Amino acid sequence: MNRAARVLWAVAGLVLVAGFASWVYRHASLGAGPAMKLGGLYLQVAVTPLLLGSVGLALVLGVASRAVDALPRRVAAPPLKLPELSPLAADGEDRARAVREMLLVLGRHLRGMAARNEPDIIGFMDQLMDGAIRSGASDVHIHPLETGTRIAFRVHGVLEQVLVFPREHHPRLINRVKVLSRLPLYQLDKPQDGHFPLATQDGPADIRVSILPTNHGESVALRIARTGVRLPQLAALGFPPALLEQYQRLLALPQGLILVAGATGSGKTTSLYASLGHIQQTRGELTRIATIEDPIEFDVPLFAQTQVNAEQGFTFAQGLRAVLRQDPNVIMVGEIRDPETARTAIQAGMSGHLLLSTIHANSAAGVFNRLIEMGVEPFLLASATAATLSQRLARGLCPHCRTEMPLTPEDAVRLDAAGLERGTFYGPVGCERCEGSGYLGRTAIYEMLAVTPAIREAINAKVPSDRIQELARREGMVPLLAAGVERARAGATTLREVFRVVGG
């Protein structure tokens, strides 16, 4: 209930009571003399409390409706099925494509809602905001033009049009925004600011509202501030159970370096966020976690997050040094790509901090020589590093329709050449859940090199990457190709995908 409705309630109550009082007064004053006095007495004794009572009731109703308003609004489960936005499509072209696909479906659905004679504006706004949250939008723009109202989302800095809303219903849409943010409906010619809370599947959000009068009506910008985000879960990324356990043990270390290698768009950052989420869950909220990023991808309330700005001379290395002065327990550095950051990171990993970062290298074994090329002392590198990981991203098979497929002769040859077992693998079919494609979401393929005493010696001796790789295999590392084939054997993806993303 908004402010106008509350005033109406109060006025209606007062009118009712005044009418009743005048009725009582007229009847009570019919008789003369003592009856008149009796009537007057009755008014004083009975009607006054009634009047006060009704004013009190109106106040209570007003306060109660305010309290109801203050509750976060839950977005009703939308009846439309939006395409899946996998946490692993976190960066690059894949994500942009997935977002566009999602907005297309959302736009079509909302256009259908808006095209009705009497559109359900409340439902429309709920679904619009739900779509904005799920597509990862930072802003929603509702901008009136001569022919219609353009509704657009800003996703990762790019403005994407969602639909054109019918001109004639524009005022009702703006009123809905005003009701949500408790702004006066009659104010049409002045800029207004407000906000409203929104409960979403990913936790609470605060929507900052800005309304600006324009020549075609009021224009609205809604800024979505995520006050609590749900970080991606480690277990959902594609670690086989045994590897997950081993990795989680490493995340419990008080100090050291954990470095993730992979190409752009291989989901490295997502792996790091999931790792930080796991650390926070297991160590508790008192663990201080700091990040230095470019750009900040998830806004996490309990992390101290710093954005580097290379153009203004604020680099990863400077950010890292500044963060170290605050002495956090765990540090995430977006990427190690220069000697200064590399050296500072190694120092951090040797002085009581667990440091997670990403680096451009072809394999887990290749990370060491990459850092030595950057001028890091092999001896320090060997003692500071706890583990290196390498990862690739493969399309996930739809678990609802996948089916066993006979091994093709080429695949058999490739498996034999890699010394891997043949056996049963799966292929795509296509069903309603995956829109006929046979694929759903993404799965990561991991290779993890835990630094053992033997590996430490090898790094120290500056041996070439392929020899470190060989040694790591003997020490129990499952290389990327074998790990990918295992994922395919489990039905998470296809052999063809594995060969495509891993090679070999």
List residues binding Zn ion (CB under 5 A).
Answer: 398, 400-401, 431, 433-434
Q: How far is the CB of 401 from Zn ion (least distance, A)?
A: 3
Q: Which residue is nearest to Zn ion (CB)?
A: 398
Q: How far is the CB of 404 from Zn ion (least distance, A)?
A: 15
| Residue 203 to residue 191: CA distance in whole angstroms | 30
Q: Is 124:131 a contact under the CB 8 Å cutoff?
A: no
Q: Is 403 helix (H, G, I), strand (E, B) or coil?
A: strand
- Other Cβ atoms less than 10 A from the Cβ of 18: the count is 13
| Residue 44 to residue 113: CA distance in whole angstroms | 56
Judge if the upstream peptide bond of residue 295 is cis by omega within 30 degrees of 0.
yes
Strand 217-226 to 425-427 pairing: unpaired
Of 256 and 428, the one with the shorter C-beta distance to Zn ion is 428
Q: How far is the CB of 101 from Zn ion (least distance, A)?
A: 16
Of 213 and 430, the one with the shorter C-beta distance to Zn ion is 430
For residue 150, the cross-strand partners are 143, 164
Of 288 and 433, the one with the shorter C-beta distance to Zn ion is 433
Of 72 and 399, the one with the shorter C-beta distance to Zn ion is 399
Q: How far is the CB of 435 from Zn ion (least distance, A)?
A: 8
Q: How far is the CB of 486 from Zn ion (least distance, A)?
A: 22
Of 124 and 439, the one with the shorter C-beta distance to Zn ion is 439
Measure Cα distances from 348 to 64, 141, 317, 388 in Å. Answer: 54, 43, 11, 16
| Residue 198 to residue 396: CA distance in whole angstroms | 32
Q: How far is the CB of 437 from Zn ion (least distance, A)?
A: 7
Kind and range of the H or E run holding 449: strand 439-450
| Residue 153 to residue 273: CA distance in whole angstroms | 25
| Residue 370 to residue 69: CA distance in whole angstroms | 57
Burial 389-426, CB ≥16 within 10 A → b, else e: bbbbbbbbbbeebbeebeeeeebeebbeeeebeeeebb
Q: How far is the CB of 410 from Zn ion (least distance, A)?
A: 25
CA 97 from chain center: how many Å? 17
Q: How far is the CB of 99 from Zn ion (least distance, A)?
A: 21
